[in-house]
A and B are shown apart, each in its own frame.
Chain A
Amino acid sequence: MSEKSIGRRSLLGGGLSLAATGALAAACSSTTATNSSGGGPLAGKKVIFVVHEKNSFFSPVQKGFEAFGQAMGWNTQFMGPAAFDQSAVVNMMQNAVNAKPDGLILTRIDETSYDGVIKAALAAKIPVILSNVASEGYAKLGVGFVGQKFVPAGVTAGEQILKYIGKHGGRKDGAIIIGKIQAGNSALEQRGAGIRKAVEDHNKANGTSFTTEDLIVGTDEAGAVSKINDRYSRDPASIAGWAGTAFECQFVSTWAKSKNLVGRFANGGFDMTVPVLNGIKDGSVDFTIGQNPYAQGWVAAALLAQQIHPGYPSFTYDTGAEVVDAANVAAVADREAKFA
């Protein structure tokens, strides 16, 4: 066999393989682009939404974004790394800028790392709006934000957990475990700060002596349940309640049900994922605080739309802190099921 034939065959084989995978990529692209059903000056616009980590929370955010995009006739693209990594997120955002979209929606989960890419987008005349988490100092970039005010929402969560500790035996002391699915996320840190503030205020006002401690559990259920069990095993009597900063309460629910410990302490947190709402229905979760993730997609896209045309500047939109408990969970679950 000659050298020439090796090169030719190899290149041919490689070319065919790449053509096949390219076709796969093209197919993926065409199936995810939103159908252009809308009309007017915004029809056919390409808008990209990049989040810091694709997890179940972002499912309704994506639905809201795509629903608005469909109404406008946009080509939408929603993406994020499977696991958070600072430089991977920045690279993905930079690639989104390089795609020259008509608008970008981003999450900014710390105060400096994403500013370079946001400024690059703005310099390229690409309108940007932040969603879900903006971090301190976002206003100086001249971009809007759609999301929750995290410290006040944390205070609401803290007040709720104290209320339910009262219902589960009326303890006056004990540890409130502040669960986190992720370290290094400013939104979760701010909610945690809000929970701690509520507990401190409660102690001062009522003469109680509750303490708080952080527990990073991750997003993998098996790992999270193990960490929760380990903390419980260390000192079972010390725990008065579990207050998550995201959807950690669903892991506490799984663990408590497996150990027949439901009702022994208060359990609540944030977000309206299906397991969290099911936990409220079966009594293993006391409450959750919603932040209207659908609006974080839909309203963010709407603000971006009016920024693209006719050109109104975006602004900050608080998606609130909706308390969901046994009293309203059925209605909320029906509503959220529409995004499943």
Chain B
Amino acid sequence: MTTTIDIATTRDAAPSPLRKLFGAHEFGVLSATLLIFLFCTVFVPNFLTSDNLISVAQQIAFIGIIGTGMTLLVIAGEIDLSVGSQYGFLSVMTAYTLTEMVLPVWLATVLVVGFGALIGLVQGLITTVAKVPSFVVTLAGLAILRGAALLVTDGVPMSGPPNPGFHDLVSGNAIGSLAAQTIWMAAVMLLFGWVLSRTKFGYDVYATGGNMKAATNAGIRAVRVKVLCFALTGALCGLAGVILVGWLGSANPLTGNGFELSVIAAVVVGGASLAGGVGSIVGTLLGALVAGLIGNALVLLGVEGNWQQVATGVLILTAVLINRFIASRQSALR
């Protein structure tokens, strides 16, 4: 322990800004993002327009919001495969509480976010108390919640009430043409970025994911930390569901179908380790941005639909390889 501190003290004695940048864990994904952005700027028609860039920022909002929760979980050494179904089910619940129960928007939001936290809490407790791997628990959750969404809606999209105020709050133009979804995402990521990097809870999350036994021995209530991470992820799925209904005016029971893969991809591309203990909100934001830029550029380039799937996979893999390559060189430097 002393040795580690000594090394850290020596290394961080007077880091130059350049060294700090190159040493940052997110430097790899940042480089990949900048390279993709540069490529798009030069080669992709209609890419570098304010409307298009604002649109990309809007499109990554849901991955960013739910990805924030997933980042906490992955750092804590767990995973939630049910986030797509949670997002779908909770968007359906939003439409249901607004349309069928005729609740005011604020109350519906509180209920749906709270319900999301409850779903996460249950999954977290089963994972930690019953010691069932989160992969299995949330896989079951994926099926249960998708089925629940279909049951509530009878398989038919459910309309939300026409409410301009609600629409403006969650998807109107917040600053200039910038969509409110983007602001919601920024607020969520800033808040949890601060929580992870500046609070004891954030330290506990890293410690729990890094070595749960050691964290427990050090007095950290690791089980509670993990359950909290599940609950926060569920709550963020609820928030995303509310924003979606305000934006589109309806909830489809298949909303979020396969979305968990996009979220996990953003978190992993952002440098988080599925083994736990490593990751950051900034990395996840960049990972979401990589996904958003690639999806946008392929359409603008005129790439045929079937090839888009292939190209998306190839580009994400390339981004991860760049990230890994730079991370390995950073390790060698240390």
Contact = CB atoms under 8 A, between A and B. Distances in A.
B300 interface: yes
B318 A21 contact: yes
A78 B329 contact: no
A91 B259 CA distance: 13
Interface residues of A, number: 62
B301 interface: yes
Given A17-B318, A184-B153, A184-B252, A10 B325 contact: yes
Interface string A7-42: 101110111011101101110110111000000000
B309 A82 contact: yes
Interface residues of B, number: 68
A113 B329 contact: no
B59 A94 contact: yes
B303 A25 contact: yes
A261 to B, nearest CB: 27
- Residue among A15, A22, A24, A33 having the largest count of chain B Cβ atoms under 10 Å: A22
Contact of A77 (B58, B159, B304): B304
Interface stretch (A95-103, A145-153, A196-204, A234-242): A95-103
A206 interface: no
Contacts of B126: none
A33 B297 CA distance: 16
A116 interface: yes
A83 B304 CA distance: 16
A45 B153 CA distance: 41
B307 to A, nearest CB: 4
A112 interface: yes
A38 B31 CA distance: 44
Interface in B290-334: 295-311, 314-315, 318, 321-322, 325-326, 329-330, 332-333
Given A10-B325, A17-B321, A21-B315, A80 B305 contact: yes
A323 interface: no
The secondary-structure label for the interface of chain B is: helix
B133 interface: no
A87 B62 contact: yes
A21 B301 CA distance: 13
B248 interface: yes
Interface string B29-41: 0011001100100
Nearest to A92: B299
A307 interface: no
A183 B305 contact: no
A112 B300 contact: no
B98 interface: no
Contacts of A115: 249
A14 B32 contact: yes
Contact of A1 (B46, B84, B304, B333): B333
A87 B245 CA distance: 10
Nearest to A4: B18
A189 interface: yes
Contact of B296 (A9, A98, A214): A98
Nearest to A95: B299
B248 A90 contact: yes
A86 B18 CA distance: 43
Given A13-B325, A21-B314, A92-B299, A98 B55 contact: yes
B295 A91 contact: yes
B31 A86 contact: no
A111 B160 CA distance: 11
Contact of B248 (A9, A28, A92, A112): A112
A13 B322 contact: yes
A180 B305 contact: no
B276 to A, nearest CB: 26
A78 to B, nearest CB: 6
Nearest to B322: A14
A9 B52 CA distance: 31
A186 interface: yes
B52 A98 contact: yes
Interface in A49-90: 54, 75, 77-80, 82-88, 90
Given A32-B307, A95-B296, A98-B296, A7 B22 contact: yes
B268 interface: no
A188 B160 CA distance: 21
10 contacts: A9-B329, A10-B28, A11-B31, A21-B315, A54-B305, A80-B305, A87-B256, A95-B295, A95-B299, A112-B248
Given A18-B36, A95-B55, 5 more contacts: A28-B304, A78-B304, A86-B248, A92-B295, A98-B46
> 10 nearest interchain CB pairs?
A79-B305, A32-B304, A183-B155, A112-B249, A28-B307, A95-B299, A110-B157, A113-B248, A14-B322, A29-B302
